[in-house]
Amino acid sequence: MLNSIYLEYNFKVVPVQPASDILIAELGEVQFESFVETEDGVQAYIKQEDWYPNILDDLQILSNPLFSIDYDYSEIEQENWNATWESNFNPIQVGQQCVIRAPFHEKPKVEYDIVIEPKMSFGTGHHETTHMMLQHILEHDLKGKSVLDMGSGTGVLAILAAMKGAAAIDAIDIDNWCYLNAKENVERNNCNHINVYEGTADLLVDQKYDIIIANINRNILLEDIPTYVKSLKKGGILFLSGFYKEDIPRISERCKEVGLKFEKNLEKNNWVAVKYVF
């Protein structure tokens, strides 16, 4: 796995917003797994084995007359990812309490200092969905709670939950590279009671949590919400993100079918992070 080859797509987007956000969402639907937002667009990464010649044909945004999008792509080995990432990564501050930074950044004076080296994993805090999920976690008392971070990426959400006093934390991601990276970041932040697993919601057998965090994408969430509810304690909280404001009715209807109640949502650049209570 460590020698896997990725394809790096460089998209130049006019106007940059909201087109970049839409582009990232659509690329995620066709197995692109990592993104770096640039001044003039998006860099997107996909494993070579997941790529096929007409992979962009179904992207509606490329034929949208409201946007102009040009792109090229090239092969990139995983060991070159850090150099690409470091040239684009700046520390992220969430409220007054939390900073997400790289090992080479200066240590800040905040309550929650999270050190992340994402490699090919999603979840640095730059994207709106991750940022809003961090906000949700900061707003809630997690002391002594059991927490599941589903689609954990770098593990940043699980790490913040641990720093906020969660007693037992599981982090799950389907991607092997994310799994390995999350384990590294968990160790880097001395969060010894986070268990990291590689897999899907199928791993949730006889598990019960006070809080479940799932930042994935709309289609996977719609499929897996019933599984999450089976793993949620009565009175528990489900945080969902990875979709747009216009998707809330469909997500909420699915949640209502399984006994979840909408409580609140955060919104940033049309992305949302929604809180449901069981």
Binding-site annotation, residues for S-adenosyl-L-methionine: 130, 151, 173, 215
Rounded distance, CA 268 to CA 173, Å?
24
Annotated binding residues: 130, 151, 173, 215
158 contacts 185 by C-beta, under 8 angstroms: no
Rounded distance, CA 104 to CA 121, Å?
18
DSSP state of 108: P
For residue 272, the SS3 value is: strand
CA 111 to chain centroid, in Å, comes to 22
How many CA atoms lie within 13 Å of 186's alpha carbon, on the beta-carbon side?
25
Rounded distance, CA 225 to CA 42, Å?
30
31 contacts 220 by C-beta, under 8 angstroms: no
Closest CA to 117 of 163, 177, 185, 167: 185
Tokens at 21, concatenated: 């956000």
Residues 6 or more apart whose CB falls under 8 angstroms from that of 136 comprise: 213, 239, 266, 273, 275
Please tell me the total number of residues recorded for the chain in this structure: 278
Beta bridge partners, 275, equal 239, 264
265 contacts 273 by C-beta, under 8 angstroms: yes
Closest CA to 41 of 75, 74, 67: 67
Burial status of residue 20 (CB atoms within 10 A of its CB: 0-12, 13-18, 19 or more) = buried
